[in-house]
């Protein structure tokens, strides 16, 4: 049996335990806390502290939105050494994806990540995520409609990457 990283294990335990007791709120609160600690002059500078300075590509050829693709999930090291998310956490993500204003999440850490972007109050629209291990892609229908990106284009941008969002100009 392999030893667990105690910090990662504690993070997982707190998040799963709180989600099972309080639903979506702990993930969003975690996102707000992270967003409040980010520094930088621009939104991308702030997000690069979490996502990685060289871990994204920017597509600025749209008049209304700048599209950003994160190459590798910044939380991937966390979820590679933890137990499976429980049924309750999985059901929460599935319910979130069914909400009209939701979608595009693969696991509870996606909800934390979306919470960070939302808490920055910068007109960021989270569009979708792709799992590096399974290739599964989850897209937010309302976000695609809002930004005008097609499902085909969103999947193309996510191919081999982790996350897609747009920043309103």
Give the model confidence (pLDDT) of 94-111 as tens digits.
Answer: 999 998 888 999 988 899
How confident is the model over 54-81, as a mean pLDDT?
91
Going by the DSSP 8-state scheme, the letter that residue 140 receives in this structure is: -
Distance of CA 40 to the CA centre of its chain: 20
Query: What local confidence, expressed as pLDDT, does residue 13 receive?
Result: 83
Say if CB 129 and CB 137 are below 8 A apart: yes
Q: Against a cut of 0.85, is the pTM above it?
A: yes
Helices of type H across 3-150: 6-22, 25-37, 43-51, 76-79, 87-98, 108-119, 141-147
Q: Residue 17: pLDDT above 90?
A: no
Strands 163-168 and 124-130: antiparallel
Q: What is the DSSP string of 55-95?
A: SEEEE--SSSEEEEEESS-TTHHHHTSSPPPPHHHHHHHHH
**Which pLDDT score is estimated for 123?**
94
- CA-based nearest residue to 129, from 163, 161, 97: 163
């Amino acid at each position: 049996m392999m030893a667990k990283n105690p910090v990662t294990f504690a993070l997982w335990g707190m998040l799963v335990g709180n989600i099972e007791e309080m639903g979506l709120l702990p993930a969003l609160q975690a996102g707000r806390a992270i967003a409040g600690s980010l520094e930088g002059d621009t939104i991308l500078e702030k997000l690069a502290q979490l996502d990685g300075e060289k871990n994204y590509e920017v597509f600025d050829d749209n008049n209304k939105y700048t599209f950003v693709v994160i190459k590798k999930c910044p939380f991937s090291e966390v979820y590679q050494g933890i137990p499976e998310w429980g049924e309750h956490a999985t059901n929460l993500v599935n319910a979130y994806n069914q909400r009209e204003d939701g979608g595009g999440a693969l696991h509870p850490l996606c909800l934390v990540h979306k919470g960070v972007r939302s808490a920055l109050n910068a007109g960021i629209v989270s569009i979708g995520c792709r799992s590096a291990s399974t290739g599964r892609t989850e897209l937010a229908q309302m976000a695609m409609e809002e930004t005008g990106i097609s499902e085909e284009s969103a999947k193309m941008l996510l191919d081999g990457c982790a996350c897609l969002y747009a920043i309103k100009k």
